[in-house]
């Protein structure tokens, strides 16, 4: 695939292993974006701790999921027998449609359309447009459209790996009132009350969630996560034992996934021919 030109001195194409990347060095912040998956891999605003975590052991191999950043899971979240986990789009090369910058940051717009290879796995056509706005905070906006009715809900997630000093002391506020589905215990769903502490290991989906969360990551500034049309939240950390089973997972205690999307019973019913837009924002809570 031919690399489109970048219209800015603050962005340039680089290659790491088998993966094409856009390296960003802007006065407001620095980061890395992968063409595979249209995946933001790293972002750190100037004079701030990092927002996004990328595993030091990530394997930059074509077709292999990249461990860290914000992968997009679509059109399903989680495993499916005989099919790729977390959907079809995070291991595909997207097309860069536009790139620009201004004094407040950078904007990238990516596009992915269905093709015969994808339809062999999921027999539906689709159009996806992902717009990234990177500055003092991060904003990802996904527009999705299917031309025909489909007989199943679409689930998705912005699978955000957020950077922090130590996950074992982190807490997430804003989940109270949602329904927690704990995948580790396989127990019945329970109502979440109060501030959530993931601890050493956690894999939970929260349905009917607020879309407004605060991740406390002392001594670093807290992060605010805000979402639009994302009725689910997912909180995940593999813990020491789980991380040991993943060849591409290193420094597991330095990250926590606080994801926004639509999973389980929150899956979306898309109207044929209509654009549906979902958004996630991540930024530092101002003191």
Residue by residue, pLDDT tens for the chain (287 residues) are: 566 778 678 999 999 999 999 999 999 999 999 999 999 999 999 999 999 999 999 999 999 999 999 999 999 999 999 999 999 999 999 999 999 999 999 999 999 999 999 999 999 999 999 999 999 999 999 999 999 989 899 999 999 999 999 999 999 999 999 999 999 988 789 999 999 999 999 999 999 999 999 999 999 999 999 999 999 999 999 999 999 999 999 999 999 999 999 999 999 999 999 999 999 999 999 86
Q: Does any domain span residue 237? A: yes
Q: Does any domain span residue 94? A: yes
> Which pLDDT score, from 0 to 100, does residue 182 have?
95
* 266, 230 Cβ separation under 8 angstroms: no
Q: Does any domain span residue 6? A: no
* 8, 100 Cβ separation under 8 angstroms: yes
**List of residues 6+ apart from 245 with CB closer than 8 A:** 238
Q: Does any domain span residue 75? A: yes
**List of residues 6+ apart from 216 with CB closer than 8 A:** 170, 171, 172, 173, 222
**Residue 169: which of 256, 82, 47 has the closest Cα?**
256
> Which pLDDT score, from 0 to 100, does residue 8 have?
72
**List of residues 6+ apart from 80 with CB closer than 8 A:** none
167 SS3 class: helix
**Distance from C-alpha of 141 to C-alpha of 133, rounded to nearest angstrom:** 8
Q: Does any domain span residue 2? A: no
Domain boundaries, position 36: 11-284
Q: Does any domain span residue 55? A: yes
> Considering its fold, how many domains does the chain have in total?
1
Length of the chain: 287
**List of residues 6+ apart from 95 with CB closer than 8 A:** 1, 4, 110, 111, 112
What's 144's domain CATH number? 2.70.98.10
**Distance from C-alpha of 3 to C-alpha of 40, rounded to nearest angstrom:** 17
> Which pLDDT score, from 0 to 100, does residue 29 have?
97
Instruction: Give the pairing type, strands 39-45 and 190-191.
Output: unpaired
pTM reported for the whole predicted model: 0.96
Q: Does any domain span residue 102? A: yes
* Torsions phi, psi for 117 (to 5 deg): -65, -45
Q: Does any domain span residue 98? A: yes
Q: What sign has the CA pseudo-torsion 19, 84, 43, 58?
A: negative
């Amino acid at each position: 695939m031919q690399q489109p030109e970048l219209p800015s001195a603050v962005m340039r194409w680089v290659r790491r292993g088998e993966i094409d990347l856009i390296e960003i060095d802007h006065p407001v912040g620095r980061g890395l974006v992968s063409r595979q998956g249209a995946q933001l891999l790293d972002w750190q605003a100037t004079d701030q701790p990092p927002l996004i975590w990328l595993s030091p052991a990530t394997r930059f191999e074509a077709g292999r999921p990249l461990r860290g950043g914000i992968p997009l899971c679509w059109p399903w979240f989680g495993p499916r027998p005989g099919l790729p986990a977390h959907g079809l789009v995070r291991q595909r090369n997207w097309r860069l449609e536009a790139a620009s910058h201004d004094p407040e940051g950078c904007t990238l717009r990516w596009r992915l359309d269905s093709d015969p290879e994808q339809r062999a796995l999921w027999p539906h056509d689709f159009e996806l447009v992902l717009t990234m706005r990177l500055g003092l905070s991060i904003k990802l906006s996904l527009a999705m459209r299917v031309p025909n009715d489909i007989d199943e809900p679409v689930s998705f997630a912005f699978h955000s790996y957020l950077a922090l000093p130590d996950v074992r002391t982190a807490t997430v506020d804003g989940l109270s009132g949602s329904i927690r589905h704990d995948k580790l215990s396989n127990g019945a769903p329970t109502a979440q009350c109060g501030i959530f502490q993931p601890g050493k290991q956690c894999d939970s989906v929260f349905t009917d969630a607020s879309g407004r969360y605060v991740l406390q990551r002392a001594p670093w500034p807290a992060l605010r996560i805000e979402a639009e049309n994302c009725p689910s939240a997912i909180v995940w950390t593999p813990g020491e034992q789980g991380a040991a089973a993943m060849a591409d997972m290193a420094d597991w205690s330095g990250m926590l996934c606080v994801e926004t999307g639509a999973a389980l019973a929150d899956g979306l019913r898309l109207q044929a021919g209509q654009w549906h837009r979902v958004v996630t924002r991540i930024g530092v809570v101002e003191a």
